[in-house]
Amino acid sequence: VQLQASGGGLVQAGDSLTLSCAASEGTIVPYVMGWFRQAPGKERDFVATISRGGTVKDVADFVKGRATISRENAKNTVHLRMNRLRPEDTAVYYCAATQGVTGQTMTSANRYNVWGRGTQVTVSS
Average pLDDT over all residues of the chain: 97
Measured in whole angstroms, the distance separating CA 29 from the mean position of its chain's CA atoms is: 16
Cα–Cα distance for residue pair 44/48, rounded to 1 Å: 12
The upper half-sphere exposure of residue 20, i.e. CA atoms within 13 Å in the direction of its Cβ, equals 9
Mean pLDDT of 115-124: 97
The upper half-sphere exposure of residue 40, i.e. CA atoms within 13 Å in the direction of its Cβ, equals 4
Mean pLDDT of 103-117: 96
| pLDDT of amino acid 4 | 96
Cα–Cα distance for residue pair 119/4, rounded to 1 Å: 9
Percentage of the chain surpassing pLDDT 70? 100
| pLDDT of amino acid 121 | 98
- Tens digits of residue pLDDT in 48-105: 999 999 999 999 999 999 999 999 999 999 999 999 999 999 999 999 999 999 999 9
| pLDDT of amino acid 86 | 97
